[in-house]
Amino acid sequence: MIELILGQVLRFGADAMIEGPGAARVEARGAVALRAGRILDVGAAADLRARYPAAQMTDMGQKLLSAGFIDTHVHYPQTAIIASWGKRLIDWLNTYTFPEEMRFADPAHAAAVAKTYFDLALAHGTTSMCSYCTIHPASVEAFFLEAEARGMRALAGRTCMDRATAPAGLRDTAQAAYDESKALLQRWHGRGRLGYVLTPRFSPTSTPDQLLALGSLWAEHPECLMQTHLSEQVDEIAWVKSLYPQARDYLDTYETFGLLGANAVYGHAIHLEPREMARLVEVGAGLAHCPTSNTFIGSGLFDTAGMAAAGLRVGLATDTGGGSSFSMLRTMAAAYEVAQLRGVALHPAQLWYLATAGAARLLRLEDKVGNLAPGMEADLIALDLASTPAIAQRAARAETFWEALFPTIMMGDDRAIAGVWVGGKRQR
Ligand code: GUN
Ligand code: ZN
């Protein structure tokens, strides 16, 4: 059976960070044809209606059809502590994050939060994500079971910590990190649409032995991504230097133990030294930009345009619960504002790219999700570009497509999400 969804269509034919708005293709009266969970065809509505006369039709009118959003760095276990007041990174971890993550020793708690998290993600139009879990294998099970039940393409890994800097109860050992990560990888990587990601939390909470153990597991499974945090806050960088006195810089604490490579995704990467930048470019590593987190926790202003111009793959991320929103629209708005503070106006096409096709590229999923093109998996969303009176009155003045879209980027939230399809099945 073929299904045709009609609406305005936005997709990408190239890298919008490099090509700008010319990388995007907009069809004012377009259509997407779906068959067996995949995109069969994309184009002008009249053409597709003629080509597939027997297709079942869903007319979304003026709604904007796009690939679903992809959140490239999120901590689903921090769902319940989002918007916790008054701390910077290290105190925020100790005060809010670690006590909440301890609760994931209880599989029932993990399952309940996973359900809440996926409900929220889908309500905000996020159809794929790359999440940290906690140290507890049950937290990984809960995440993948929930994603699998919804048929989603989702990535995650067990967060490893074995240093005394992490509280007792949230610590493992180098060997346990290796063994349990490996068992979870073997159980979940490549099962349906799921993928396992090696996840040392960050160098301050791991011993060199643990980083080395995870580096050797990654060498056994180079097909997996490896995610961690890098140079998020100035105090954190000083802490890393005191814990690893031999290291040339923060990135070196990963590089030395085999945790630098083309399939690495580093979160934040705000305060990089020239050597770190050069090495990231050289190996083709990727960066997750977490703008609402970077402003909320007071971390700093990521150089989106500079990183992309240097050839690094960049994707947007909520970093929930350090980030202050589940919405990739709100995340795009924050990325725009942070770039403005650095003197750069990111184009709406670039912001959208960073939350869809660019995010997929960061996660090595660009042949599967993140764009509307024949053969891609049918994860898409329909957006109401007039979802509130404030947005509607501004969009009504728009003279171009981008002018009509930008108010939703800056002011939109889950009310703008008018439809969500996962693997071709409508979820909402
Ligand atoms: N660095 C290490 N762990 C975390 C975390 O959970 N959130 C953020 N924002 N930074 C981190
Ligand atoms: Zn994070």
- CATH number of the domain at 64, please: 2.30.40.10
Q: Rounded to an integer, what distance in angstroms lies between the CA atom of residue 254 and that of residue 208?
A: 9
Residue 79 CB–ligand 1 contact under 6 Å:
no
Please identify, among 362, 378, 404, the residue that sits at the C-terminal boundary of a domain.
Answer: 362
Check if 318 has its Cβ closer than 6 Å to any atom of ligand 1: no
Q: Is any atom of ligand 1 closer than 6 Å to the C-beta of 256?
A: no
Report which of 71, 138, 39 is spatially closest to residue 321, judged by C-alpha positions.
71
From CA 307, how far away is CA 324, in angstroms rounded? 23
Give the range of the structural domain holding residue 22, as residue numbers without chain letter. Answer: 2-68+370-426
pLDDT in tens, 285-304: 999 999 999 999 999 999 99
Residue 298, Cα to own-chain centre: how many angstroms? 20
15-73 pLDDT per residue, tens: 999 999 999 999 999 999 999 999 999 999 999 999 999 999 999 999 999 999 999 99
Burial of 208 (0-12, 13-18, 19+ CB in 10 A): middle
Closest atom, ligand 1, to C-alpha of 202: 2
Render pLDDT for 197-255 as a digit per residue (tens, 0 to 9): 999 999 999 999 999 999 999 999 999 999 999 999 999 999 999 999 999 999 999 99
Instruction: Give 375 Cα–ligand 1 centroid separation in angstroms.
Output: 36
Residues 59-71: b if buried by 16+ CB within 10 A, e if exposed = ebeebbbbbbbbb
Rounded distance from Cα 140 to ligand 1 centre (Å): 17
Give the pLDDT of residue 323.
98
CATH number, domain of 186, equals: 3.20.20.140
Rg value, the chain, Cα: 21
Q: Is the CB of 201 under 6 A from ligand 1?
A: yes
pLDDT given at position 180: 98
198 & 248 share domain: yes
- In ligand 1, which atom is closest to the CA atom of 232? 10
Q: Which residue has the tokens 């879990």?
A: 133
What local confidence, expressed as pLDDT, does residue 40 receive? 98
**pLDDT tens digits, residue range 403-420?**
999 999 999 999 999 999
Do 191 and 82 share a structural domain? Answer: yes
Biggest CA-to-CA distance, the chain: 68
Q: How many domains is the chain partitioned into structurally?
A: 2
> Tens digit of pLDDT for each residue in 170-191?
999 999 999 999 999 999 999 9
pLDDT of residue 150: 98
The pLDDT of 258-270, averaged and rounded, is 98
Tell me the CA–centroid distance for residue 3 and ligand 1, in Å. 42
Whole-number Å distance, alpha carbon 320 to ligand 2 midpoint, is: 8
Mean pLDDT over 134-157 rounds to 98
Residue 294 CA: which ligand is closest? 1
Q: Are residues 185 and 228 in the same domain?
A: yes
Could you say which of 321, 346, 362 is where a domain stops?
A: 362
Q: Which residue among 71, 91, 131, 201 is best mutated to probe the pocket of ligand 1, counting the most ligand atoms within 8 A of its Cβ?
A: 201
Tell me the ligand closest to 292's alpha carbon.
1
Q: Report how far ligand 2's centroid is from the alpha carbon of 100 (Å).
A: 15
* Ligand 1 lined by 232 (C-beta under 6 Å): yes
One domain for residues 334 and 237: yes
**pLDDT score, position 71:** 99
- 15 and 40 inside one domain: yes
